[in-house]
């Protein structure tokens, strides 16, 4: 940290061999031409953004691209547009502008923009380069790291996609100042997740720094982004294609996806659904005799301090929960697998849990939150 | 060959390290359960076919899959359906049937079915297994080998796709008996291509065996499929992601794609357009002083013996040619690159040719074939 309290640039490396890439984290990075230039192979650049982010930051990115042949495509904002139709709009833009195989896409926005621009880059002419410029906390700590790209299908979230690594990630913490409160909180849900699954020291730091994070202290946010990215990068480097431990990053996500699908995408933010889902996963872990009840309560309290929901919404009964979770990708050959906590900081992916414990959890929720 | 003249099973190996896979070629393979079984990891199988091929061969494939939980999705037949909308129909089928990450897709049909089923496999849950069962000569010698998958966009052919290798290719030469004459010829265009770009001995064999190939002699067809696959597998093994020599497989394709786009997809078969395109590439190579004129004439004659067009269609003037070729993927940073013949059996990808030679070719064609 510099003496004026602003974050200085930090640089991580995601170690994926020939697909390795840097993550730059700090203040004032979004307009720094030198962070883009080394990762743009040709002359052509297509910036993909949305109607909310483009008015705020597109000009700064364009200024950093002086000398390149750059164009922008501005998508409608929202998870409900993360589909094949909107994706096709990116292909339209690329082809109408005659962009060649050496084009570089830049994803300027949150997770939805990153997932779609990344998937477009994965598929356009069977694969072109892209750079992530995440402007939400969720995207900075999660979706911009690891190469998962894709779109939703009416029958399931992120069901259509590709693994496609960016050439670089430029995470400017200044962009978090314009973030709506709900989205800041949603990002913090994923931050807490890293602590719960593998980093109890980070969890302690989060308990101690909840207030500066909620008041958007730049240094605290940069620290949270960096430690989240370090955790995610380590997991991804060990398991790029999600054959094993990478699935641990999905703590709370099977329940969370069910909440999102049950309510209809867009009602709850992804991070909000994950927060409630993590509380459910922790509760189930306690019921199985794995996690200490006090640790589950403490995790729930931390999420509540971050203004996150710690109960699922009403209106989903136990049968509906099971139906919604059955389409989750972690159902392998018909068997529901969940990420659960053996203890704090130690997550496992398992189908080997007593079904009565899950039934008990769901029926307790049904009676507690029914409307 | 066995004494009764029927092809026996031949097995090639496409050497791509952990993504390597076998190609089985021969008679009576499509219903052989033992060729499928080792490559199906889970219990669920989705067969993707079309309205023409399914009535002919779906039952045989289903019989070979006894014991698996298999379903079929039957697409409309034709290049005009090779788009994101039809692709989404495969995702619908996968999700409606709750197919998990360990599902295996089987592409039963020609190149269009193979490209779409392969691309669906590449994208579904970010990548699942698939097996190619090509039922056209074109698919057996070309599109089923090498892992290129994708769909068309209104502004360009195969612009959206992925590299995704099959687990196995099962090429039953018996299926070629039901192939329309035009499609047999279209497949032979790609067969000739291998000879022109890298195998003059095979080219001599084709001149000597044009008649048995056209009368669908099983042994001759199996030999042609095997030698084509050997050639393609060697090229692909050396350059899986088309960074270099793999582009040589596109001889005639830049001109051919322009013909297909100019006429509207579906007017000419891909192989027909490639045949006329290869004659154009050979003509241009002669104009550049590279290829012997006699070799170009001989190549043209061979294509004509295979009942293939050796002139482009009327109605495309020189300006339109240039515009159509400008969207071809081989345009790198604005410069038109073509696959040309330095001499017979020796192709190069180059942007380094006299533009007047191309202008001369196009204006000669314009005056010769204008309607």
Give the pLDDT confidence score for residue B231 in this predicted structure. Answer: 95
Give the pLDDT confidence score for residue B334 in this predicted structure. Answer: 65
The span from the CA of A79 to the CA of A99, in Å, is 27
The overall average pLDDT reported for chain A is: 92
The span from the CA of B325 to the CA of B320, in Å, is 8
Question: Model confidence at A330, in pLDDT bands (50, 70, 90)?
Answer: low
pTM over 0.90: no
pLDDT, average across residues B255-284: 92
By CA distance, what is A127's nearest residue in B? Answer: B162
* pLDDT tens string A33-48: 999 999 999 999 999 9
Residue B6 has pLDDT above 60, yes or no: no
Out of 1.20.120.420, 1.20.1090.10, 3.30.70.20, 2.40.40.20, which CATH number does the structure's domain A191-369 have? 1.20.1090.10
In the 8-state DSSP scheme, what is residue B135?
-
Give the pLDDT confidence score for residue A32 in this predicted structure. Answer: 96
Question: Model confidence at A357, in pLDDT bands (50, 70, 90)?
Answer: very high
The span from the CA of A171 to the CA of A144, in Å, is 9
Chain B residues whose CB is inside 8 A of the A100 CB are 329, 331-334
The span from the CA of B127 to the CA of A307, in Å, is 36
CA angle B343, B344, B348 (to 5 degrees): 55
Q: Which of B38, B54, B221 is nearest to B131 (CA)?
A: B38
Give the pLDDT confidence score for residue A4 in this predicted structure. Answer: 42
User: A56 near A200, Cβ under 8 Å?
Assistant: no
Where along chain B do its domains lie? 10-178, 191-369
pLDDT, average across residues B213-225: 95
Give the pLDDT confidence score for residue B143 in this predicted structure. Answer: 80
Residue B308 has pLDDT above 60, yes or no: yes
Chain B residues whose CB is inside 8 A of the A92 CB are 153, 155
Give the pLDDT confidence score for residue A327 in this predicted structure. Answer: 67
HSE-up (13 A, CA, CB side) for residue B306: 30
Cβ neighbours of residue A120 under 8 Å, at least 6 residues apart?
Answer: A48, A87, A90, A91, A94, A105
Q: Hey, do B10-178 and B191-369 end up sharing a CATH topology, with the first three levels equal?
A: no
Question: Model confidence at A8, in pLDDT bands (50, 70, 90)?
Answer: low
CATH topology of domain A10-177: Rossmann fold (3.40.50)
The residue that leads in pLDDT, B100 or A329, is B100
Least confident span in A63-67, B142-146, B166-170:
B142-146
Q: Which of A95, A126, A160 sits opposite B163 (nearest CB)?
A: A126
Least confident span in A312-321, B1-10, B338-347:
B1-10
Question: Which CATH number applies to B10-178?
Answer: 3.40.50.1970
* pLDDT tens string A183-219: 999 999 999 999 999 999 999 999 999 999 999 998 9
Q: Which helix (H) or strand (E) holds A129?
A: strand A129-134
In the 8-state DSSP scheme, what is residue B332?
B
Chain B residues whose CB is inside 8 A of the A87 CB are 84
Q: Give the residue numbers of A annotated as catalytic, written as ranges.
A: 126, 148, 190, 232, 242, 246, 250, 253, 257, 270
Q: Count of CB contacts below 8 A, A vs B?
A: 100
Residue B29 tokens, joined: 């393979």
Residue B340 has pLDDT above 70, yes or no: yes
Residue A239 has pLDDT above 50, yes or no: yes
User: What does R_g of chain A's alpha carbons equal in angstroms?
Assistant: 20
Residue A2 has pLDDT above 50, yes or no: no
Question: Model confidence at B4, in pLDDT bands (50, 70, 90)?
Answer: very low
Distance from CA of B52 to the nearest CA of A (A): 27
* pLDDT tens string B10-52: 899 998 889 999 999 999 999 999 999 999 999 999 999 999 9
pLDDT, average across residues A276-295: 97
């Amino acid at each position: 940290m510099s003496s004026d309290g602003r974050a200085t640039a930090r640089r991580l490396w995601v170690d994926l061999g020939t697909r390795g890439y840097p993550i730059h984290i700090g203040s004032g990075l979004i307009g720094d031409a030198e962070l883009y230039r080394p990762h743009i192979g040709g002359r052509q650049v297509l910036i993909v953004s949305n109607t909310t982010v483009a008015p705020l930051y597109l000009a700064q990115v364009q200024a950093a691209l002086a000398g390149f042949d750059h164009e922008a495509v501005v998508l409608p904002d929202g998870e409900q547009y993360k589909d094949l139709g909107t994706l096709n709009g990116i292909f339209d833009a690329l082809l109408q502008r005659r962009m060649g195989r050496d084009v570089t896409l830049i994803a300027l926005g949150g997770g939805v923009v990153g997932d779609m621009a990344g998937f477009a880059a994965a598929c356009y002419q069977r694969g072109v380069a892209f750079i992530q410029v995440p402007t939400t906390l969720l995207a900075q700590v999660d979706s911009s790291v690891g190469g998962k790209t894709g779109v939703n299908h009416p029958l399931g979230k992120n069901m259509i996609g590709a693994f496609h690594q960016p050439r670089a990630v430029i995470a400017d913490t200044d962009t978090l100042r314009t973030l709506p409160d709900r989205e800041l909180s949603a990002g913090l849900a994923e931050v807490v997740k890293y602590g719960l699954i593998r980093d109890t020291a980070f969890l302690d730091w989060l308990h101690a720094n909840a207030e500066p994070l909620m008041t958007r202290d730049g240094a605290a946010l940069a620290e949270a982004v960096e430690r989240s990215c370090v955790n995610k990068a380590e997991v991804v480097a060990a398991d790029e294609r999600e054959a094993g431990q990478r699935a641990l990053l999905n703590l709370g996500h099977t329940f969370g996806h069910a909440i999102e699908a049950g309510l209809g995408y867009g009602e709850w933010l992804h991070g909000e659904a994950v927060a409630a889902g993590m509380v459910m996963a922790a509760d189930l872990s306690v019921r199985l005799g794995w996690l200490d009840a006090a640790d589950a309560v403490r995790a729930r309290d931390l999420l509540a301090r971050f203004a996150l929901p710690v109960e699922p919404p009403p209106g989903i009964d136990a049968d509906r929960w099971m139906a919604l979770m059955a389409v989750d990708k972690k159902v392998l050959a018909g068997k529901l697998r969940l990420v659960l906590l053996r203890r704090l900081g130690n997550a496992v992916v398992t189908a080997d849990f007593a079904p009565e414990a899950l039934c008990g959890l769901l029926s307790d929720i049904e009676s507690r939150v029914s409307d």
